[in-house]
Amino acid sequence: MIEPYDDTYFMQKALQEAEAAFDRDEIPVGAIIVTDNRIIAKGHNLTETLTDVTAHAEMQAITAGASFLGGKYLKDCTLYVTLEPCQMCAGALYWSQISRIVFGASDEHRGYRKMGTQLHPKTQVSHGILAEECSKILDDFFKARRRLN
C-alpha cells in the first residue's frame, strides 16, 4: 500500500515554511504540527521581523497548535521541523508533552542534544528526514548573506 502521508511528505511541508522564512530574509527554518495526518499548525522563523529571539518556527507552531486544539498539551501530535530544535524550543516541547518530534538537519552547535536539553519522557524522536534539503536551504541563506556583506 502506498502511504502518501509519511514523514517525507510532512517534512516537505515544513521545508515550504523554511522557504517562506528565506523569502523574508529570515534564517530559513520551518515547522508544522500534525495530528491524525492533518496539519494543524505551521510556523517559520520570524526573529528578525518581530525583533524577538523567541520567535523560532517551533515556538510559533506550538502556540498555534495548542490554540487549534483548545488545550496546552500536544498529545498525539508530531512536530516536523527542518532543523534540530535549540534549548528553548526543546524546553517548550518538553512542557507540551508532544508525542513525537521529527527533525531534518542536525545542529551540531546549538541543537538540544549537544546542549543537553531534556525532552519529555513521552516524546519520541526521529531525525535525518530530508536532511540534505533542510541543510541546503540554510547553507544557501548564509552564502547569500555573506555575499551581501
Residue stretches of the annotated binding site for Zn(2+): 56, 86, 89
Contact pattern from residue 113 through residue 132 relative to a copy of itself, giving x for each residue in contact according to CB under 8 A and a dash for the rest: --xxxx--------------
Note if 19 is an active site residue.
no
Query: What are the b/e assignments for 34-60, b being 16+ CB within 10 Å?
Result: bbeeebbbbbbbbbeeeeeeebbbbbb
Residues contacting a copy of itself: total by CB under 8 A: 29
Torsion angles phi and psi, residue 9, rounded to 5: -60, -50
* 51 touches a copy of itself by CB under 8 A: yes
Tell me which residues touch a copy of itself (CB under 8 A).
Answer: 47-48, 51-54, 59, 62-63, 66-67, 70-73, 86-92, 94-96, 115-118
